[in-house]
Amino acid sequence: VLSVNFRLGIGYGYEFHRPAYGYYQGAVEYQDVKAGGEYLAQLPQVDGEKIGIYGGSYGGYLTSLALARDSGLFKVGVDIHGVHDMDRRYDLPDGYEVAPDYEKAKEVAWNSSPMPDLERWTSPVLFIHSDDDRNVNISQTTNLIRRFEELGKPYESILIPGDTHHWMKWSNMIRVDQATADFLKKHLMK
């Protein structure tokens, strides 16, 4: 197990916490996750063909980026309430003034998400999301599931009714943790 302290984290200064081209402005922090996976793959005690990834919320976003951009490196993943479609979050209501670079910003946001790389995504994934998530709307996951079905991509999903982004019900937290472990074992411990 390797836990990557990717850019945007705290405790390493302003430039680390607020890097240029981070998140919807370029997803530069994904380079840190990829470098961690490549490091693991080179270790003699690690089977480079059995590297998986999982994460929740922002980690779910990075998990989906890893699987969409680098399925050859990350063989399986569990995406727990991740953000997938960046440009939809920034639609302006009618009547708002639009900045001159608004369309370019939407294009950069789209390219900072896993959506433009779905054709290259070959790794199986388990999507987990709750329907009362007020941090990341469940439509972020259900829309991606719909696209996976259209493309015939391998996936499993668990949609949890009546809980929030932070698993307020202990039983759901246990269920999510167990499902994550089981899915990774199924695909990596053959």
Which tens digit of pLDDT belongs to each residue from 46-74? 999 999 999 999 999 999 999 999 999 99
Contacts of 114 (CB under 8 A, 6+ apart): 61, 64, 65, 67, 68, 69, 84, 121, 144
Q: Tokens 């996951």 — which residue?
A: 141
Residue 143's closest CA among 133, 164, 129?
129
| pLDDT at residue 88 is higher than 80 | no
Q: What tokens were used for 112?
A: 């900072």
Residue 78: its pLDDT value, please? Answer: 97
Confidence of residue 149 (pLDDT cuts 50, 70, 90): very high
Please, which residues bridge with residue 54 across strands?
Answer: 78
